[in-house]
């Protein structure tokens, strides 16, 4: 078993004088990767603060192993605007590090997060600032690292890099995230905050759905059995108590107490097991062809280098009614420009974009520009001040409609500025989905959403019968709601693949396999199926046979390097050797991971060929 770093036992936490947690117990062992899940308001932030010690418990015991450090990913860089990225991320620890160590950490963490250490925070975008917060928490290398929605505003390549980093991280990690695939790929335990209690799943998030379903089914059976016993006791109590015997009077009172307790537990159970359901979304009548791109070209002049940056070149695509298209690509690859040309907000340099006359676009903007922070939720949904709004052709009271999106009726009069990021996203969804038009564009709609709201959104979009575009870093979400994928690879290269993110990933893997040199890589100008079976050639067979030896040699090299690095006197004895080993070690681990993945890939090709 892993070494115990932190333990909380029988803890009570009061908020505003009322019990929030009671008999709270959990343990964090060295090296554990833990997913922290629960509904909005379940207490995830409070639990994080208990772990760091920022929030004291009101009763019970909190033990932390002497010398154990904790680190919490900050949510903003407020108050640090004038600092450079370097000063911000190394604040408080720079004095403890040698110059070579600072350079090493920049290479291993800051560079992969696409940050320039000399940039000032005030000049960074919102996504870059968030990555700076993440870099700061990773650079500190605490024994217990707490990450709150670390993948927000990240593209898929960065998320995959972060997965690898967490999996190789020597300390313990506690992660709050709505990204199911990310949690499944990085965790080996789950802390489930459920109705004031914490339940620990013995496996990672990949197994959580089945485990939690079994737990709830078990609870449901127990409640059913309790209901039968209480029913019998109440039936006895209603017959009257003969001779008013004290024993019988006490039993009668206990029967009614048991009934009340059962009703409270049944109500609590129904809240947990109930799902949010909204009526299906139907689109307005539209043409068969919604938008057509004919030989479209678009480029920009890079402000720093002065060189031309191509976004699209001779791009042709026909977008039809009921297409469901996911959009992937790094920042700056052309996703936003494509969407702006799609809506008519931006003109093409060459070629033509033709839109259907019946086209009605609803746009979910990740910057939430449609919301007026100074106004209430009600005034944002009903600018004219009415109490009812039109929701897809039906009149709905504002309070009832907000309830569909997990708001309390009283929230209707709150200012939008008082909402959290997740609540603002839910309000945006309520506004957009009231009248989605016949083309719905969703730009990063999953940011800051909890899993219940994400499930609701997934269900709504799956029922939408209009044309759908989704830009998202959430791989599981994409797999569920889109049937085609446009991948902006940069330099005007746009790949079109039938299916969601998993199909795109399979396609990219197939591209890495050996292809005849006479075949030239062509730019995909329309969505089409490209992931055909790959032949298991003699060359691939030879490569597969050589890989086990290469893997074994890399494993041995890594063990040898680790032994050398464990020598505390190595730097003083031979600084050059120490620097060389420090640089080689991460590269060797990366080469080993690549070799192992390639071995698995070739085994799959071999199995498919047979």
Residue 332 is encoded by which pair of tokens?
């700056």
Phi, psi of 226 (to 5 degrees): -60, -40
Q: Is residue 559 part of a domain?
A: yes
Q: What's the domain range around 237?
A: 211-273
Q: Tell me if residue 326 falls in helix, strand or coil.
A: strand
Lowest mean pLDDT among 48-62, 92-106, 222-236: 222-236
Matching residue, tokens 């939690």? 212
* Beta strands, E only, 408-452: 439-443
pLDDT in tens, 158-188: 899 999 999 999 999 999 998 999 999 999 9
Residues 374 and 486 in one domain: no
Residues 475 and 500 in one domain: yes
State how far the alpha carbon of 163 is from the alpha carbons of 158, 160, 236, in Å: 9, 5, 59
Residues 353 and 400 in one domain: no
Decide which of 436, 469, 488 is a domain's last residue.
436
Residues 356 and 450 in one domain: yes
Predicted local distance difference test score (pLDDT) of residue 525: 36
pLDDT in tens, 463-506: 888 899 999 888 899 999 999 999 898 888 888 888 888 888 88
pLDDT class for 609, splitting at 50, 70, 90? low
Residue 209 is encoded by which pair of tokens?
């759905």
pLDDT in tens, 419-449: 877 788 888 888 888 888 889 999 888 877 7
Q: Is residue 415 part of a domain?
A: yes
Q: Is residue 586 part of a domain?
A: yes
Q: What is the domain count for the chain? A: 4
pLDDT class for 408, splitting at 50, 70, 90? confident
Q: Which residue has the higher pLDDT, 610 or 113?
A: 113
Predicted local distance difference test score (pLDDT) of residue 537: 67
Q: Which of 145-159, 169-183, 217-231 has maximum average pLDDT?
A: 169-183
Residues 428 and 560 in one domain: no
Predicted local distance difference test score (pLDDT) of residue 519: 46
Residues 563 and 461 in one domain: no
Residues 445 and 545 in one domain: no
Residues 451 and 593 in one domain: no
Q: What are all long-range contacts of 85-92, with beta carbons under 8 Å and residues at least 24 apart?
A: 85/110, 85/115, 85/116, 85/117, 85/118, 85/119, 85/120, 85/121, 85/124, 85/132, 85/135, 86/117, 86/118, 88/121, 88/132, 88/136, 89/117, 89/132, 89/135, 89/136, 89/139, 90/139, 91/136
pLDDT in tens, 317-328: 889 888 999 999
Q: Which residue has the higher pLDDT, 288 or 267?
A: 288
Lowest mean pLDDT among 18-27, 214-223, 232-241: 232-241
Whether pTM > 0.85 for this model: the answer is no
Residues 423 and 319 in one domain: no
Lowest mean pLDDT among 78-92, 297-311, 369-383: 297-311
Q: Which residue has the higher pLDDT, 230 or 312?
A: 312
Task: Report the alpha-carbon distance of residue 124 to residue 119 in Å, rounded.
Answer: 8
Q: Is residue 603 part of a domain?
A: yes
Q: Is the pLDDT of residue 365 over 90?
A: no
């Amino acid at each position: 078993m892993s070494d115990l770093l932190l333990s909380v036992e029988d803890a009570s936490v009061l908020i505003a004088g009322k019990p929030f947690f009671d008999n709270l117990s959990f343990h964090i062992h060295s090296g554990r990767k833990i997913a922290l899940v629960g509904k909005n308001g379940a207490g995830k932030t409070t639990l994080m603060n208990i772990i760091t010690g920022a929030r004291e418990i009101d009763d019970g015991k909190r033990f932390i192993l002497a010398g154990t450090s904790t680190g919490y990913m900050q949510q903003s860089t407020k108050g640090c605007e004038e600092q450079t990225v370097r000063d911000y991320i190394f604040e408080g620890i720079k004095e403890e590090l040698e110059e070579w160590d600072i350079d090493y950490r920049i290479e291993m963490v800051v560079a992969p997060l696409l940050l320039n250490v000399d940039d000032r925070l005030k000049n960074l975008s919102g996504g870059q600032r968030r990555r700076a917060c993440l870099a700061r928490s990773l650079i500190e290398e605490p024994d217990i690292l707490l990450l709150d929605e670390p993948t927000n505003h990240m593209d898929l390549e960065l998320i995959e890099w972060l997965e690898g980093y967490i999996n190789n991280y020597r300390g313990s990690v506690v992660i709050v995230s709505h990204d199911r695939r990310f949690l499944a790929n990085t965790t080996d335990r789950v802390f489930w905050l459920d109705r004031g209690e914490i339940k620990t799943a013995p496996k990672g998030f990949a197994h959580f759905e089945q485990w939690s379903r079994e737990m709830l089914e078990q609870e449901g059976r127990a409640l059913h059995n309790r209901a039968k016993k209480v029913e019998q006791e109440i039936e006895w109590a209603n017959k009257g108590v003969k001779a008013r015997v004290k024993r019988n009077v006490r039993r009668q009172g206990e029967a009614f107490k048991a009934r009340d307790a059962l009703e409270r537990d049944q109500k609590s159970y129904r809240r947990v097991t109930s799902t949010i359901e909204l009526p299906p979304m139907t689109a307005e009548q539209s043409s068969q062809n919604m938008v057509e791109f004919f030989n479209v070209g678009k480029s920009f002049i890079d402000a720093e280098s002065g060189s031309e940056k191509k976004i699209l070149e001779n791009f042709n695509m026909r977008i039809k009614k009921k297409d469901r298209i996911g959009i992937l690509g790094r920042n700056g690859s052309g996703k936003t420009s494509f969407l702006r040309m799609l809506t008519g907000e931006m003109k093409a340099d060459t070629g033509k974009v033709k839109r259907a006359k019946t086209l009605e676009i609803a746009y979910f903007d990740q910057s939430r520009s449609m919301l007026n922070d100074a106004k209430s939720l009600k005034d944002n949904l009903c600018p004219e001040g009415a109490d009812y709004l039109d929701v897809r052709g039906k009149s709905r009271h504002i309070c009832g409609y907000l309830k569909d999106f997990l708001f309390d009726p009283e929230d209707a009069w709150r200012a939008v500025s008082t909402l959290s990021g997740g609540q603002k996203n839910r309000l945006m969804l309520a506004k957009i989905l009231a009248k989605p038009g016949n083309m719905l564009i969703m730009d990063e709609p999953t940011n800051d959403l909890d899993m219940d709201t994400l499930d609701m959104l997934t269900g709504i979009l799956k029922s939408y019968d209009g044309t759908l575009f989704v830009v998202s870093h959430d791989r599981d979400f994409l797999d569920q709601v889109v049937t085609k994928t446009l991948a902006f690879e940069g330099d005007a290269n746009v790949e079109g693949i039938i299916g969601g993110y998993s199909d795109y990933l399979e396609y990219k893997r197939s591209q890495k396999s050996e292809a005849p040199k006479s075949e030239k890589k062509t730019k995909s100008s329309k969505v089409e199926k490209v992931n055909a079976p790959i032949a298991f050639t003699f060359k691939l067979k030879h490569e597969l046979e050589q890989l086990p030896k290469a893997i074994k040699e890399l494993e041995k090299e890594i063990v040898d390097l680790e032994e050398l690095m464990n020598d505390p006197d190595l730097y003083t004895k031979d600084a050059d050797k120490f620097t060389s080993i420090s640089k080689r070690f991460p590269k060797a681990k990366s080469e080993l991971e690549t070799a192992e993945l390639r071995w698995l890939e070739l085994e799959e090709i071999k199995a498919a060929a047979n």
